[in-house]
Amino acid sequence: MLSTSDLVQQPITGIVPPQLGEATIRVAWPSVSATPAVATLGRKLILSIALAPLGWGLMLPFYFRKILPFLAMRYTLTNRRLMIQRGLKPQVSQEVALADIDEVRVVRDANSVFFRSGDLEIVSKGAVKLRLAGVPEPDAFRQAVLNSCMAWVPGKAQQMLRFVPSKV
């Protein structure tokens, strides 16, 4: 049976502030569309009935690439930062603090609708600080990043929710 003192030390999203511990909010594994050339060729082959097995065979190694020991990659959002992690024992390869995020853009291409994915550009100080390629359900991940920024960074909600009057 867990005691109350054990539960207090355990970081839980929504309960533990970033000052006390880092808690994972969301993790996404990149889709095949992170490799545009393979995704485009695979999509075209799959859309033709006769060549569909060839398309699946072409994309299969790129699908499993995300879990191979030396290539494994994931996008992790915590209550402190957004990061790209690599390897089966996740090591941070790139990161940006939530306080530095000004805008999150979804970039779509010809493969976005087919694979239900897109690229996210994380903008900080007017420049793209981080690019997440092939994010599944990019709109939901974008909203999770924005919600995390507004919830966990003091004063960020006022910056992100600025009122812009319409031009009449």
Evaluate whether residue 57 is within a structural domain.
no
Structural domain range at position 115: 19-31+68-154
| Within a domain: 118 | yes
Please give the tally of structural domains in the chain: 1
Q: For the whole model, what pTM was predicted?
A: 0.81
In percent, the amount of the chain with pLDDT more than 90 equals 45
- Nearest to 66, CA basis, from 133, 125, 6: 133
Q: Is residue 96 part of a domain?
A: yes
pLDDT for residue 26: 92
- Strand partners of residue 82: 77, 96
Q: Where are the beta strands (DSSP E) in the chain?
A: 24-28, 73-78, 81-86, 91-97, 103-107, 117-124, 127-136
Query: Tell me: the pLDDT tens digits for 79-129?
Result: 899 999 998 788 999 999 999 999 999 999 988 899 999 999 999 988 999
> What gap in Å lies between CA 125 and CA 46, rounded to an integer?
41
The CATH number that applies at residue 124 is 2.30.29.30
Q: In what order do the strands lie in the sheet with 117-124?
A: 103-107, 117-124, 127-136
Q: How far is CA 24 from CA 145, 147, 148, in A?
A: 12, 14, 11
Q: Which residues pair with 131 in a beta bridge?
A: 121
Q: Please indicate, yes or no, if residue 107 is contained in any of the structural domains.
A: yes
Question: Contact 113/132 with Cβ under 8 angstroms?
Answer: no
In a domain, 159, yes or no: no
Q: What is the pLDDT of residue 61?
A: 87
Average pLDDT in the chain: 84
